[in-house]
Structure 1
Amino acid sequence: MTPEDKISKFREIHDSLRAEIGKVIVGQNAIVEGTVNALFANGHVLLEGVPGLGKTLLVRTLSQVLDLSFNRIQFTPDLMPADVIGTNMVHETSDGKRAFEFQHGPIFSHLILADEINRATPKTQSAMLEAMQERSVTAGGEIRKLDSPFFVLATQNPIDQEGTYPLPEAQLDRFFYKLIVGYPSAEELSEIIARTTEENIVTVRKVVDSKTLSDLQLLVKQVPVASHVKDYAIRLVLASHPNTSTALEITNKFLRFGSSPRGAQSLLLGAKVRALTDARFNVSFDDIAAVTLPALRHRLIVNFEAEAEGVTTDDILNKILLDVPRDPTVSSVAS
């Protein structure tokens, strides 16, 4: 298969995937596109939004069009690691003897919805962290591989923070994207009401299987990135590091810590997916800029001054995008 054929197949599957999801999910185009983008890049997604905006429905629909197994884990303070991973259970064998048998937990699925992940204790969060990073879990002294592909979509409510355990920076950094789920528009809300309060049976078709999805994820990594485009992504990340020679004034003023190297990895992989969906086998500056907010917003740690003045990481990233030149020979305006 020629590169052109591979690109055409990728775009066809991407468009079909979006169309099938659109049969069920009303609006939320940026969220759907970001989720699909992360899926093709083999990364996990953190969704931040109030309850009732269709996050569970999105993951369940995604599992149907991909023909993948799906589990929802409701995170609560009393949830234990064994409730997520599984545990060894004593059972009686056919010859009357007793032996341990591993009972698999809900983490052993292709698609996982980790609902309100910040309500679980750090101990349980760390178990999830291992699964997300290593694609395996340790249980009963053994390392057990998870299903492939393995995709976690975690949610957290930005409003109700009582009784929560904020995700540590190390775990936030494991998420490929952080997407902000907003309220639907008047037109979208009208369509949602029509679909959910009237007789309306919607069926979606399977678009791609796990083998094809793995092939597409491999294709993403094969997309070349020109050195000057890669350099732009690196300079964006370096501009987020306060008190360094590459920092901007806004960075020094409002940030405690900048993005890790994983931020640059997410920028490039997300940009590669965006290029393929646009039927291109090369990454542009626009591709990098388009994925900067979802790829980096959760990797920046603001200081007290930013919190006091209501400055968000999105505000800082938008300023970085404005001030960091795409052509390195052009001096940036640090302000």
Structure 2
Amino acid sequence: MHPTAPLAAEHISPGLTTATSHSFTSGLSWSAVFAGAAAAAALSFILLILGFGLGLSAISPWTNTGATASTIGISTVVWLALTQIAASGLGGYLAGRLRNRWIDIHVDEVYFRDTAHGLLAWAVATLVTATLLTSAIGSVLSGGAEVGAGALRGVATAATGVAAAGASQTATSRGDAGTNSTGYFVDTLFRTNQAPAEAQATDASSRAEATRIFANALRTGNLDAQDKQYLGSVIARQTGVDQATAETRVSQAYERLDQTVTQATQTAKAAADKARKATAYSALWMFVALLCGAFFASLFATLGGKRRDHPVIVARA
């Protein structure tokens, strides 16, 4: 017998079927799938760690130094896609290369099974990576929403202008004008050029009452005429200015406070909207990157399977 005769059955083309050759092996090799998934998950983890390191090295707290936010965002998307392509491609290739050989299966069926091996390897690797990196992935997806919520909470906190308990029960988020801001504008109401001996001391109750009046005006969106007149009389009595000047001071202080609160609210809304868009774009690009990973895992599994089934002719001396 020719020395290469025993290799004949080993090198039968997968597209041929014989009456006496039947393969009872399973169409799925889980050992190859898990091997490819392990390699994909490990490489994905390594590349993610490298990406974090490169990203942190490109960020600087100093002004006009380091990469911009847009550059960091684009680089993150590109790196995530490359990570998926490289890791999924490696896992798919190993899953196709290490699977059992099918002898009497049609070439189309072999192609389908190789594709399935690559897809399963990608799926297992993705689930493992998601399980191990749940906190990191969750922080990426919820980071933008948390920033937006934090900005809104900041406005609500910065907008708390209630020094007394009664105001805190009736004021809304916009009516809570902000302790520091409201306190400053209330201080401007009671300023006086009189000598300390001539000026009356401004008691805490008057300031608290002025704060509550401003908080209610911010809540309703308008400074009531009676409140304006009353607050003007209190200011006129304690600062020595006439009633008309005191009421003008009240109107000007309220307008400035209203502009400050409105600007802060608009800034918070813009920050929340920007964070919402960033979160949406991150989720969409993650979806695209994962699809790329599934495609390249399936593609490279077919390449590995073809390499596995390619007959090798060993030269004999």
Q: Please identify which structure carries the higher helix content.
A: 2
**TM-score scaled to structure 1, two decimals?**
0.19
**TM-score scaled to structure 2, two decimals?**
0.20
Q: Please identify which structure carries the higher strand content.
A: 1
Q: Which has the larger radius of gyration?
A: 2
